[in-house]
Chain A
């Protein structure tokens, strides 16, 4: 009785979720993308200091399918996408589930700017398919979707909203606090925002910008202050990628985190990778925007605490 009531309340959100999944597939298939499935259970995740994985029989539940997706890219698959469950330990909050759904897509012969345009097209496609037209109302606020959306660099956003420079934030060890408390709430309010060009240290798998090697070609998409997607122009230099992995893994171990093996097949495959770009979008949060709800629990049938 208790269960049926709390689940019945979610019916509309779950119906919307199913429609969004269907429309995402329609969008990518129409654009010539191939839907891919890669294993959730992997022997070696990408070492990232702030992402804790879950261990399962000595292997790891993938925190993202990126390594396998990039191996497929390197092998000549031009356009691929995947919708899958990802797992991240200790991540639980109004916008976080330890098991969540990710949409990732990858393209050869493209950089992060082209992915920004594809994000615009994707959200516009969903809005039209769900009868929203060119605007979405989220928590009483109208978000206009006409292209092009706002693009602002991390540097400019810190100057504008946090009243301090990125360098000051990094030296003062308060980048994440500044970003979440002062910058993010201002992004994607009247239209979606692309926050782009991150400091080199904050994009372990992203390519450095040609014109300015102190930043990497990475962006995050925001709607209503909520981070929806993270994208890179992919780093294709195998040696540079190995150096960054070693550095990141070293940082992890010094902090007492469990060691990860080096993902050798991935590093080897990079030698065959030409210019390409990839993006990961949190599906649950996308549904939150369209369902106009504040809590991620409202768009999944079973949050972990209810199991």
Chain B
């Protein structure tokens, strides 16, 4: 069981035999008042969302979900094809099921597909992905103030903020959990 203090974004809990994921999590506590956990929950099957505020005495049942190692093959007409590494069986996921992971999907990478009673619900990929920058404005020399950023596009089409010295053709490491730039990668 989880306590309210275990709640965090992306935690999966079971309510009325259905899996829910916390899509938003806010800890709020009025001065001298009690801790409140204001959450947005999403039903992982129907996609239905609702808001609920929990108290520190509330407890939660973990959702019993299965994660299977699969290989990402290709995207076609908005569907994403994954192959089971053991049975070689292929399944198609919708863009919604793939979620933010589609920002980092390059062919043949390994992914963990989340299943609830054999129904695909979502995809998790490695925490860090190295991606090639395909579009970037040139570095204006003299713009060396630490903390400045500029937008670049990477090979998957994803756009993110990076330090100004990053140039087209370079490889950068991205944290797939936050979507943020981490460091430049030298091959």
Task: List chain A positions with a Cβ less than 8 A from chain B.
Answer: 1-2, 5, 8-12, 48-51, 90-96, 175-177, 179-181, 184, 202-204, 220, 227, 230
Contacts and interface: CB of A to CB of B under 8 A. Distances in A.
B27 A50 contact: no
B29 interface: yes
Given A5-B182, A8-B147, A179 B30 contact: yes
Interface in B14-55: 26-36, 38, 53
Contact of A2 (B31, B163, B183): B183
B87 interface: no
Nearest to A49: B34
Given A5-B163, A5-B182, A220-B31, A177 B36 contact: yes
A92 B35 CA distance: 10
B108 interface: no
Given A2-B183, A11-B146, A180 B36 contact: yes
B30 A227 contact: yes
Interface residues of B, number: 21
Nearest to B146: A8
Query: Lowest 9 A-B CB distances belong to which pairs?
Result: A93-B27, A8-B146, A176-B33, A230-B31, A1-B183, A50-B34, A180-B28, A9-B147, A179-B30
Given A5-B163, A8-B146, A11-B146, A180 B30 contact: yes
29 contacts: A1-B182, A1-B183, A5-B163, A5-B181, A8-B146, A9-B147, A11-B146, A11-B147, A12-B147, A48-B32, A50-B29, A50-B33, A50-B35, A90-B35, A93-B26, A93-B27, A94-B26, A95-B28, A176-B30, A176-B33, A177-B36, A177-B53, A179-B33, A184-B30, A202-B32, A203-B32, A227-B31, A230-B31, A230-B32
A210 to B, nearest CB: 22
Q: Is the interface of A mostly helix, strand, loop or mixed?
A: mixed
Contact of A96 (B29, B38, B53, B56): B29
A18 B31 CA distance: 25
A79 B27 CA distance: 35
B10 interface: no
